[in-house]
Amino acid sequence: MRKPIIVGNWKMNKTIADTKAFVAAVDSACNDNADWGIATPYLALQAAKEGAKNLIIAAENCHFKDSGAYTGEISVEMLKEIGIEWVILGHSERRQYFGETDETVNAKMLQVLHNDMTPIVCVGETLEEYEAGTTKDVVKTQTVAAFKDVCPNCAGRVVIAYEPVWAIGTGKTATNEIAQDVCAYIRSVVAELYGQEVADKVRIQYGGSVKPEGLKELLEQPDIDGALVGGASLVEDSYKAMIAALD
Ligand SMILES: O=C[C@H](O)COP(=O)(O)O
Protein backbone atom coordinates (compact mmCIF):
# COMPACT_ATOMS: atom_id res chain seq x y z
CA MET A 1 0.00 0.00 0.00
CA ARG A 2 1.58 3.27 -1.12
CA LYS A 3 1.01 6.29 1.10
CA PRO A 4 -0.21 9.30 -0.89
CA ILE A 5 2.22 12.19 -1.21
CA ILE A 6 1.01 15.71 -1.91
CA VAL A 7 3.67 18.37 -2.51
CA GLY A 8 3.09 22.03 -3.26
CA ASN A 9 5.56 23.42 -5.76
CA TRP A 10 5.76 27.11 -5.03
CA LYS A 11 7.99 27.92 -8.02
CA MET A 12 9.26 31.56 -7.78
CA ASN A 13 6.69 32.67 -5.23
CA LYS A 14 6.69 33.81 -1.60
CA THR A 15 9.25 35.60 0.53
CA ILE A 16 10.82 34.22 3.70
CA ALA A 17 8.23 36.11 5.75
CA ASP A 18 5.38 34.67 3.62
CA THR A 19 6.86 31.21 4.06
CA LYS A 20 7.07 31.48 7.86
CA ALA A 21 3.44 32.59 8.01
CA PHE A 22 2.28 29.78 5.71
CA VAL A 23 4.13 27.06 7.62
CA ALA A 24 2.84 28.39 10.94
CA ALA A 25 -0.72 28.25 9.60
CA VAL A 26 -0.62 24.93 7.74
CA ASP A 27 1.90 22.61 9.40
CA SER A 28 -0.26 21.63 12.37
CA ALA A 29 -3.24 20.93 10.08
CA CYS A 30 -1.42 18.09 8.27
CA ASN A 31 -2.94 14.66 8.85
CA ASP A 32 -1.51 11.16 8.56
CA ASN A 33 -3.55 10.26 5.51
CA ALA A 34 -0.79 11.48 3.23
CA ASP A 35 2.74 12.81 3.26
CA TRP A 36 2.33 16.59 2.90
CA GLY A 37 5.03 18.88 1.62
CA ILE A 38 6.03 22.14 0.03
CA ALA A 39 8.90 22.95 -2.30
CA THR A 40 10.09 26.50 -1.80
CA PRO A 41 12.65 28.78 -3.41
CA TYR A 42 16.14 28.19 -1.99
CA LEU A 43 16.13 31.32 0.18
CA ALA A 44 13.05 30.25 2.11
CA LEU A 45 14.06 26.62 2.69
CA GLN A 46 15.75 27.15 6.05
CA ALA A 47 12.86 29.15 7.50
CA ALA A 48 10.39 26.57 6.21
CA LYS A 49 12.42 23.73 7.67
CA GLU A 50 12.71 25.44 11.05
CA GLY A 51 8.94 25.95 11.24
CA ALA A 52 7.86 22.53 9.98
CA LYS A 53 7.16 19.57 12.22
CA ASN A 54 4.99 17.70 9.73
CA LEU A 55 5.50 19.18 6.30
CA ILE A 56 8.20 17.77 4.04
CA ILE A 57 10.30 20.68 2.85
CA ALA A 58 11.75 20.21 -0.63
CA ALA A 59 14.06 22.17 -2.88
CA GLU A 60 12.90 22.88 -6.43
CA ASN A 61 16.25 22.00 -8.01
CA CYS A 62 19.90 21.31 -7.20
CA HIS A 63 23.19 20.90 -9.05
CA PHE A 64 24.65 17.53 -10.04
CA LYS A 65 28.23 18.28 -8.94
CA ASP A 66 29.50 18.33 -5.37
CA SER A 67 30.98 21.84 -5.64
CA GLY A 68 32.92 24.04 -8.01
CA ALA A 69 32.74 26.90 -10.47
CA TYR A 70 28.99 26.85 -11.14
CA THR A 71 27.85 30.41 -10.51
CA GLY A 72 24.36 30.68 -9.09
CA GLU A 73 23.98 26.98 -8.34
CA ILE A 74 23.23 25.10 -5.10
CA SER A 75 24.74 21.74 -4.15
CA VAL A 76 23.10 18.87 -2.31
CA GLU A 77 25.63 19.35 0.53
CA MET A 78 24.29 22.89 1.01
CA LEU A 79 20.74 21.56 1.09
CA LYS A 80 21.60 18.79 3.51
CA GLU A 81 23.33 21.25 5.83
CA ILE A 82 19.95 22.88 6.48
CA GLY A 83 18.15 19.55 6.72
CA ILE A 84 16.64 19.35 3.23
CA GLU A 85 16.23 15.78 2.03
CA TRP A 86 13.80 16.16 -0.86
CA VAL A 87 14.37 17.76 -4.28
CA ILE A 88 12.16 18.27 -7.32
CA LEU A 89 14.07 17.45 -10.50
CA GLY A 90 13.35 18.05 -14.16
CA HIS A 91 10.24 20.18 -13.79
CA SER A 92 9.01 21.17 -17.24
CA GLU A 93 9.69 24.84 -16.47
CA ARG A 94 13.33 23.98 -15.88
CA ARG A 95 13.41 21.94 -19.06
CA GLN A 96 11.66 24.71 -21.02
CA TYR A 97 13.39 27.85 -19.67
CA PHE A 98 16.70 26.73 -18.18
CA GLY A 99 18.04 24.12 -20.54
CA GLU A 100 17.41 21.11 -18.31
CA THR A 101 17.83 17.94 -20.37
CA ASP A 102 17.22 14.24 -19.79
CA GLU A 103 20.97 13.93 -19.21
CA THR A 104 21.17 16.64 -16.54
CA VAL A 105 18.04 15.27 -14.86
CA ASN A 106 19.72 11.87 -14.70
CA ALA A 107 22.95 13.35 -13.31
CA LYS A 108 20.92 15.12 -10.62
CA MET A 109 18.97 11.92 -9.83
CA LEU A 110 22.24 10.08 -9.21
CA GLN A 111 23.63 12.92 -7.11
CA VAL A 112 20.48 13.15 -4.98
CA LEU A 113 20.14 9.40 -4.48
CA HIS A 114 23.83 8.89 -3.71
CA ASN A 115 23.42 11.50 -0.98
CA ASP A 116 20.48 9.63 0.55
CA MET A 117 18.00 12.29 -0.49
CA THR A 118 14.71 11.72 -2.27
CA PRO A 119 14.02 13.04 -5.76
CA ILE A 120 10.63 13.94 -7.17
CA VAL A 121 11.39 13.60 -10.85
CA CYS A 122 9.00 15.23 -13.31
CA VAL A 123 8.04 13.87 -16.69
CA GLY A 124 5.35 14.96 -19.11
CA GLU A 125 4.52 15.88 -22.67
CA THR A 126 3.95 19.26 -24.29
CA LEU A 127 0.64 20.17 -25.95
CA GLU A 128 2.19 19.52 -29.34
CA GLU A 129 3.32 16.05 -28.27
CA TYR A 130 -0.08 15.35 -26.70
CA GLU A 131 -1.88 16.34 -29.89
CA ALA A 132 0.51 14.22 -31.94
CA GLY A 133 -0.40 11.21 -29.80
CA THR A 134 3.16 10.71 -28.56
CA THR A 135 2.53 11.13 -24.81
CA LYS A 136 3.63 7.60 -23.90
CA ASP A 137 6.75 7.73 -26.07
CA VAL A 138 7.74 11.01 -24.42
CA VAL A 139 7.20 9.88 -20.82
CA LYS A 140 8.97 6.58 -21.52
CA THR A 141 12.02 8.34 -22.95
CA GLN A 142 12.13 10.76 -20.02
CA THR A 143 11.62 8.03 -17.41
CA VAL A 144 14.20 5.64 -18.86
CA ALA A 145 16.72 8.49 -19.14
CA ALA A 146 16.07 9.71 -15.59
CA PHE A 147 16.65 6.23 -14.13
CA LYS A 148 19.84 5.47 -16.11
CA ASP A 149 22.39 3.87 -13.73
CA VAL A 150 20.01 4.13 -10.75
CA CYS A 151 20.31 0.92 -8.73
CA PRO A 152 17.17 -1.10 -7.88
CA ASN A 153 17.47 -0.28 -4.16
CA CYS A 154 17.43 3.44 -4.88
CA ALA A 155 14.79 3.22 -7.61
CA GLY A 156 12.07 2.15 -5.20
CA ARG A 157 12.25 5.37 -3.22
CA VAL A 158 12.02 7.74 -6.18
CA VAL A 159 8.81 9.73 -6.57
CA ILE A 160 7.76 10.40 -10.16
CA ALA A 161 5.49 13.33 -11.02
CA TYR A 162 3.57 13.04 -14.27
CA GLU A 163 2.80 16.57 -15.37
CA PRO A 164 1.37 17.14 -18.83
CA VAL A 165 2.83 20.52 -19.74
CA TRP A 166 -0.44 21.62 -21.35
CA ALA A 167 -2.19 21.26 -17.97
CA ILE A 168 0.28 23.31 -15.90
CA GLY A 169 -1.14 26.62 -14.75
CA THR A 170 -3.68 26.59 -17.56
CA GLY A 171 -6.74 25.46 -15.64
CA LYS A 172 -6.92 22.48 -18.03
CA THR A 173 -6.53 19.22 -16.15
CA ALA A 174 -6.06 15.86 -17.75
CA THR A 175 -9.13 13.77 -16.98
CA ASN A 176 -8.61 11.24 -14.21
CA GLU A 177 -8.82 8.52 -16.87
CA ILE A 178 -6.02 10.06 -18.96
CA ALA A 179 -3.87 10.70 -15.86
CA GLN A 180 -4.42 7.13 -14.63
CA ASP A 181 -3.64 5.67 -18.04
CA VAL A 182 -0.34 7.55 -18.30
CA CYS A 183 0.65 6.91 -14.67
CA ALA A 184 -0.06 3.17 -15.11
CA TYR A 185 2.08 3.26 -18.22
CA ILE A 186 4.93 4.99 -16.35
CA ARG A 187 4.71 2.27 -13.68
CA SER A 188 4.95 -0.37 -16.40
CA VAL A 189 8.09 1.34 -17.70
CA VAL A 190 9.61 1.19 -14.20
CA ALA A 191 8.58 -2.49 -14.04
CA GLU A 192 10.38 -3.16 -17.33
CA LEU A 193 13.51 -1.58 -15.85
CA TYR A 194 13.43 -3.03 -12.32
CA GLY A 195 10.65 -5.61 -12.03
CA GLN A 196 7.17 -5.34 -10.58
CA GLU A 197 8.22 -5.30 -6.93
CA VAL A 198 10.18 -2.08 -7.35
CA ALA A 199 7.52 -0.59 -9.63
CA ASP A 200 4.90 -1.24 -6.97
CA LYS A 201 6.95 0.76 -4.45
CA VAL A 202 7.42 3.85 -6.62
CA ARG A 203 4.95 6.62 -5.88
CA ILE A 204 3.61 8.44 -8.92
CA GLN A 205 2.03 11.87 -8.61
CA TYR A 206 -0.12 13.72 -11.09
CA GLY A 207 0.43 17.46 -11.53
CA GLY A 208 -1.38 20.05 -13.60
CA SER A 209 -4.08 22.42 -12.30
CA VAL A 210 -4.91 20.15 -9.34
CA LYS A 211 -7.51 21.74 -7.05
CA PRO A 212 -8.72 20.65 -3.58
CA GLU A 213 -12.12 19.62 -4.91
CA GLY A 214 -10.71 17.11 -7.38
CA LEU A 215 -8.01 15.64 -5.16
CA LYS A 216 -9.86 12.77 -3.51
CA GLU A 217 -11.18 11.38 -6.77
CA LEU A 218 -7.76 11.77 -8.39
CA LEU A 219 -6.20 9.67 -5.65
CA GLU A 220 -8.81 6.96 -6.10
CA GLN A 221 -7.09 6.09 -9.37
CA PRO A 222 -5.04 2.94 -8.72
CA ASP A 223 -1.74 4.21 -10.12
CA ILE A 224 -1.94 7.80 -8.88
CA ASP A 225 -0.32 8.12 -5.47
CA GLY A 226 -0.32 11.85 -4.99
CA ALA A 227 -0.14 15.25 -6.56
CA LEU A 228 2.40 17.94 -7.34
CA VAL A 229 0.40 21.11 -6.94
CA GLY A 230 1.34 24.60 -8.12
CA GLY A 231 -1.19 27.42 -7.79
CA ALA A 232 -3.51 25.72 -5.31
CA SER A 233 -0.63 25.14 -2.90
CA LEU A 234 0.16 28.82 -2.50
CA VAL A 235 -2.89 29.82 -0.52
CA GLU A 236 -3.19 28.60 3.06
CA ASP A 237 -6.92 27.94 2.85
CA SER A 238 -6.57 26.06 -0.39
CA TYR A 239 -3.74 23.89 0.99
CA LYS A 240 -5.81 23.20 4.10
CA ALA A 241 -8.75 22.30 1.87
CA MET A 242 -6.57 19.64 0.23
CA ILE A 243 -5.71 18.25 3.66
CA ALA A 244 -9.39 18.28 4.62
CA ALA A 245 -10.28 16.52 1.35
CA LEU A 246 -8.31 13.49 2.55
CA ASP A 247 -9.69 13.48 6.11
O1 LIG B 1 4.66 21.52 -10.13
C2 LIG B 1 3.48 21.83 -10.22
C3 LIG B 1 2.88 21.95 -11.50
O4 LIG B 1 3.66 22.68 -12.39
C5 LIG B 1 1.43 22.27 -11.53
O6 LIG B 1 1.16 23.64 -11.41
P7 LIG B 1 -0.39 24.09 -11.34
O8 LIG B 1 -1.02 23.28 -10.26
O9 LIG B 1 -0.34 25.55 -11.02
O10 LIG B 1 -0.98 23.78 -12.68
Determine if residue 83 is left, alpha or beta; phi over 0 gives left, psi from -120 to 50 gives alpha, anything else beta. left
pLDDT band at 113; cut points 50, 70, 90: very high
Q: What is the count of structural domains for the chain? A: 1
Structural domain span for residue 114: 5-245
The arithmetic mean of pLDDT across residues 123-129, rounded, is 96
CB under 8 Å to 71, separation ≥6 — which residues? none
Q: What is the number of other CB atoms lying within 10 angstroms of the CB of residue 215? A: 24
Interval 21-29 mean pLDDT: 98
Q: Please report, in angstroms and rounded to a whole number, the separation of the first and last CA atoms in the chain.
A: 18
CA pair distance 186, 141, nearest whole angstrom: 10
At residue 128, the pLDDT reads 94
pTM of structure: 0.97
Dihedral angle over CA of 105, 8, 170, 164, nearest 10? 40
Average pLDDT on 140-146 reads 98
- Give the Å distance between the CA of 232 and the centre of ligand 1: 8
How do beta strands 56-59 and 86-89 pair? parallel
> From the alpha carbon of 88, which atom of ligand 1 is closest?
1
Largest Cα separation within the chain, whole Å, is: 47
pLDDT of residue 169: 85
Question: Does the beta carbon of 231 sit less than 6 angstroms from any atom of ligand 1?
Answer: yes
Whether the predicted interface score ipTM is above 0.95 = yes
**Average pLDDT of 12-19?**
98
Give the domain CATH number at 148. Answer: 3.20.20.70
Task: Give the pLDDT confidence of 170-208 residue by residue, as tens digits.
Answer: 888 889 999 999 999 999 999 999 999 999 999 999 999
Active site residue 236: no
By three-state DSSP, how is residue 169 classified? coil
Predicted confidence (pLDDT) at residue 149 exceeds the cutoff of 90 = yes
- Residues forming a β-bridge with 87: 59, 119
